[in-house]
Amino acid sequence: MSDRRVRMYPVRRTVRLATLPLNGVKRDQILAVAHTYAQVKDRFLLALAPASMWRHLASKQRFRDWAKGEGLYPDGANVHLVDHAAFDAVETWVRHIESVIATSNLKARIWRRFTGAQRHYAYSLLTNYADIGAILQGEAPERAKIQVDDAERNVVCGFCRRHLRTGLQAAGNPRAHLERSISLDDTLYSTWVAQRPSGKPSRRQYVSIISNRPGQRIVLPLAGISEVSGNIRVVMDEGAQSASVHVSYEVHQMKEAKGPPQSIDWGVTEVAVDAAGVHHGQGYGKLLQKISDENTKKGRRRGKLWSITKLQAHRKRAKRITRHNLGTKKQAKRSKAGRAGLRSVTGAAVKEIVYGEGNRTRARGPVLQRHDQRPRLIVCEDLSHLRGKARSKKLSRLCSAWMRSELEGRMTVHAYRGRSPTKAVNAAYTSQTCPEPSCGYVSSTNRNGDRFHCRNPHWDCNLQGDADQVAAVNLLERVGDPRITIFTTHTEVKKILSERFQRRLESRTGGVSVPLGTASDGVRARIAEGEATAHGRTPSKPRRNLSDVGGASITGADSQGPVHTARTGETEAAGERKEKERLEMPRYSGAEGR
């Protein structure tokens, strides 16, 4: 495995500071400012819609100056507030273009379609928004440092143009529909802490923001005390009586990590499983199951009520049901509470992965973080391509509550702070491939729920263990794999793994080609009555633990227990029944073919 350092880009963390409940006057004032801000921002978003305007996306100040020259600034509005609306519009379009590139899978398509200088040229175009706009207008920008002729440039630009247009048409143009947020710089707000000798708490922090009336400000009392500086965003919580102040902080890094590399496999039964077999966040699956069951139960009841209102729309009963039983306040409150619980378990698990065992909470005060405990590299599966429905409805409901963005966001922040860079690798077939270096047999029969059992029919491997731990071990080995990249399709991955196993098989047979899936007399001796098989179903063949591979071990409640050296048909069936009872829910493997 390559141990090359991965570059870490600066990271900022956004913290939401809640305010105390606000009266109706202050709520109306905030919404009035948000209405003005949204109207101005929407005007700038429409101005940036033509691809020819994307040359301004590289500099927010340049677009601000252009908008002033074109007379897009409204009369009577605060100039600094309009400036921030222009900056916000530029950032919104940048995020929109990046999301279109990601959802259209354009970088992976370029990787598979082009090679050499053409691939380098295509990737260089995607880093410049002016060039992306030029491509959509039918042009083919030149690159002096990349040697590609006119015909090659036209082919590359035509390929990118088709996929960008398809993605942009599907996504539509961004608009400012929600009128409940305002972006402010330090000239548009002020903050202070007031002493309250006779009150509880004894100190209270306030934030005073701009209003639509000149010389008048809106004072917001915060629920706690925190540092408020730089650009902030005030958001009026939908359906609530309070607002929140979003403050962005720079994440400070710790001492350089010196621990061994670590790999993790994300899941829905627990947050993650590492290569050592440690399950992080084991209460995650129960929370997901609880949220899924509640949503299913409530959804069925609401569906019946909706059908009643449609069939009896002319009766008073339908109006009464609509007024009292089909609201969204309780539903939103329940969803918010469920996601708060998931965030709590996710945060504890991610901290344990990055900072080491015992560093999950601060109940006993700050914990000294040892740099030799933190991994110098964290390898995880690529989650950017996960979308759509799973194979079963139950699994789809679980994965709809699975907070993938929350996992990625927390891992990014804590890995940057702990100086443990993350690297995403291709996860196709990682939980179906035997991690034994001398084996590497890949088959869907190797995995059954949470358990892995190598079913190699050519020689007795018989490796068994936790399927997620097997996936984590294989992820760690794929970091330095030159053939299996993050853009390699799952069909190509299966082909590469099969070719490698075929070479191992031929080396055992002395160069004789043996079709995969059939046993060879030269590889495995004939199975006589009472002898062991690769499936471990006869009395005399012991099972091999995953601890035999790379020194990993399975401990705790998820260990497979004592190794039985004698297994009859009845004991095998009993073990399978016990294993099915232990599995509370199916596993969501993510990548296709895993």
CB 346 within 8 A of CB 409: no
Query: End of a domain among 369, 402, 435?
Result: 402
Residue-level pLDDT at 513: 60
- Domain assignment present for residue 352? The answer is yes
Same structural domain for residues 567 and 450?
yes
**What average pLDDT score do residues 113-120 get?**
92
Q: Is residue 555 part of a domain?
A: yes
Sign of the C-alpha dihedral computed for residues 148, 150, 155 and 156 taken in this order: positive
Verify that 551 and 470 share a domain, yes or no.
yes
> pLDDT exceeding 70 applies to what percent of the chain?
79
Q: Which range is least confidently modeled, 13-27, 266-280, 508-522?
A: 508-522
As a whole number of angstroms, the distance between CA 175 and CA 89 comes to: 9
164-169 average pLDDT score:
94
In the predicted model, is pLDDT for residue 536 greater than 60? no
Query: Which of 214-223, 354-363, 427-436, 527-536 is the least confident region?
Result: 527-536
pLDDT at 488 over 70: yes
Closest by CA to 31, choosing from 240, 188, 247, is 240
pLDDT of residue 358: 56
The Cα 454–Cα 297 span in angstroms is 39
- Tell the burial category of 95 from Cβ atoms under 10 Å away from its Cβ (0-12, 13-18, 19+): exposed
Residue 84, domain member (yes or no): yes
Number of domains in the chain: 3
In a domain, 237, yes or no: no
Q: Quick one: pLDDT at residue 553?
A: 38
List the structure tokens of 297.
Answer: 């139960």
pLDDT tops 60 at residue 369 = yes
Q: How much is the pLDDT for 548?
A: 54
Tokens for 165, please give them.
Answer: 């247009």
Q: Is residue 415 helix, strand or coil?
A: helix
The answer to whether the beta carbons of residues 469 and 428 sit under 8 Å apart is no
pLDDT surpassing 70 at residue 391: no
What residues pair up with 451 in beta bridges, in sequence order?
448, 466
Which pLDDT does position 581 carry in this prediction? 44
Residues 461 and 563 in one domain: yes
Same domain, 150 and 279: no
pLDDT at 46: 95
Residues whose CB is less than 8 angstroms from the CB of residue 389 and which lie 6 or more positions away in sequence, other chains included: 396
Both tokens assigned to 89: 């519009």
pLDDT of residue 98: 94
Q: Domain of 346?
A: 262-377+394-402
Stretch 381-390: mean pLDDT? 66
Do residues 472 and 570 both lie within one domain?
Answer: yes
- The residues pairing with 464 across neighbouring beta strands, listed in sequence order, are 453, 545
Are 457 and 398 part of one and the same domain? no
Same domain, 355 and 452: no
- Assess if residue 225 is contained within a domain: no
For the chain, percent of residues with pLDDT exceeding 90: 42
User: Residue 52: its pLDDT value, please?
Assistant: 93
- The SS3 call for residue 160 is helix
User: 129 and 29 in one domain?
Assistant: yes
SS3 label, residue 329:
helix
**Residue 129 or 77, more confident:** 129
Q: What is the mean pLDDT of residues 450-477?
A: 91
Of 35 and 551, more confident: 35
What pLDDT, on a 0 to 100 scale, did the predictor assign at position 96? 95
Q: Residue 186 has what DSSP assignment?
A: T
Q: Is residue 188 part of a domain?
A: no
CB atoms within 10 A of CB 99: 13
Which range is least confidently modeled, 343-347, 357-361, 429-433, 499-503? 357-361
> So what's the pLDDT on residue 357?
65
- pLDDT tens string 295-347: 888 888 888 888 888 888 888 888 888 888 888 888 888 888 888 888 888 88
CA angle 584-585-588, nearest 5°? 145
- Judged against a pLDDT cut of 60, whether residue 399 lies above it is answered with yes
Question: φ, ψ for residue 457 (rounded to 5)?
Answer: -85, 0
Residue 556 pLDDT greater than 50, yes or no: no
Task: Using the predicted structure, report yes or no on whether residue 376 has a pLDDT greater than 60.
Answer: yes
Q: Which of 128, 144, 171 is the last residue of a domain?
A: 171
In a domain, 37, yes or no: yes
Report yes or no on 534 lying in a domain: yes
Instruction: List the single range of 2-11, 77-86, 451-460 with lowest mean pLDDT.
Output: 2-11
Q: Same domain, yes or no, for 373 and 462?
A: no
Please name the helix (run of DSSP H) or strand (run of DSSP E) that holds residue 468, with its range, or none.
helix 467-477
Sign of the CA dihedral running 428, 434, 439, 442? negative
Residue type, 80: H
In the sheet with 447-448, reading across from the earlier edge strand, the strands are: 447-448, 451-453, 463-466, 544-545
pLDDT at position 22, please?
92
The predicted pLDDT at position 311 comes to 85
Q: What is the pLDDT of residue 366?
A: 53
Euclidean distance between the first and the last CA atom of the chain, given in angstroms as a whole number: 21
Q: Are both 398 and 454 inside the same structural domain?
A: no
Which of 109, 89, 113 shows the shortest CA–CA distance to 101? 109
Q: Do the Cβ atoms of 539 and 554 come closer than 8 Å? A: no
Q: What mean pLDDT is reported for the chain?
A: 81
Same domain for 167 and 28: yes
Q: Which of 135, 153, 171 is the last residue of a domain?
A: 171
Cα 514 from Cα 462, distance rounded (Å): 20
- The helices-and-strands tally (H runs, E runs) of the chain is 15, 16
Answer whether residue 2 shows pLDDT above 80.
no
**Claim to verify: residue 470 and residue 361 sit in the same structural domain:** no
Give CA separation, 395 vs 106, 271, 293, 318, 452, in Å: 28, 16, 12, 34, 20
Quickly state the pLDDT bin for 9 (edges 50, 70, 90): confident
pLDDT at 359 over 70: no
pTM beyond 0.85: the answer is no
